Amino acid sequence: MKKSLILIPCSKGKRVVMCKEEFQEPVRDIQPLRGELLTEIEHIPSIAGNLQNQAGILNRDAPLSKAIDLYTGQFYQAAGNSLHRIMAGEYSSTAVLIVSAFYGLAKLDEGLKEYELEMDNILHSGVKVCEFWQGHQLWRLLRNYVDKNNITHICSLLPNSYHRVFDGLWKQIRNDKCIRVKVVPNPWPKSTSWVLGQWLREVLKEISRSGRDYLTGELPPKQFKEIPEYTFHYVPCREENR
């Protein structure tokens, strides 16, 4: 059975939504890396002093929110209902992982604390956050997740600084097994995140309508009638970031 994994970015916008339900366990072996990153953050006054970090990841008693509820950026505003349907199992052959500057890889229904961190932030060790994740081979944890869950195809909706963290994995995967979605032209006045959220929503609608699983075989349409002003290009994940 073919299965797809969609990689989506976190967002700067966040809100705490306390939840009494049980959360999914994190991706295997991710917790030690998060702990090491947290130690780096504790030694950087400009980051450790951020109110969101003090209330969230630096507070042992901070409440947990489901990842799908924590992030409120434009991608999540556009694709929120679709993400909830995937999480509910409506698309049984599709999984989603969030790529986060602090959490690395997070499941939609994993419990997260609020935080403020960007991939380009400089850590106490002098490297950028994205370089931290590259150096600690986050891509290997993603590879393990792909293998364990029998993922056959990957679709990346990540911006460059997030996508290149996994360069080690892209080198191992055949071009036809991993695509990256790019938007043409520049999405102004809408953000790229918003347009990619709309893309996900429309692709899932097309899958439901036609019965063709565009995420595990034939490439998705280049245009959609609901967002006619944009054309979508599908390039191999290993293609050099541009």
Segment 175-186, tens digit of pLDDT: 999 999 999 877
Q: Is the confidence at residue 189, as pLDDT, over 80?
A: no
Rg of the chain taking only CA atoms, in angstroms: 18
**Beta pairing partners, 235:** 180
d(CA 107, CA 133) in angstroms, rounded, equals: 17
Segment 120-172, tens digit of pLDDT: 999 988 999 999 999 999 999 999 999 999 999 999 999 999 999 999 999 99
pTM above 0.85, yes or no: yes
The two beta strands, 111-112 and 153-156, are unpaired
pLDDT of residue 129: 98
pLDDT of residue 19: 85
Segment 42-89, tens digit of pLDDT: 999 999 999 999 999 999 999 999 999 999 999 999 998 999 999 999
pLDDT of residue 240: 54
pLDDT of residue 217: 86
Q: Which residue ranges make up each domain of the chain?
A: 4-236
Segment 87-129, tens digit of pLDDT: 999 998 999 999 999 999 999 999 999 999 999 999 988 999 9
Angle (nearest 5°) at CA 116 between 84 and 110? 35
Q: Is the confidence at residue 241, as pLDDT, over 50?
A: no
Range in 60-69, 75-84, 215-224, 232-241 with the lowest mean pLDDT: 232-241
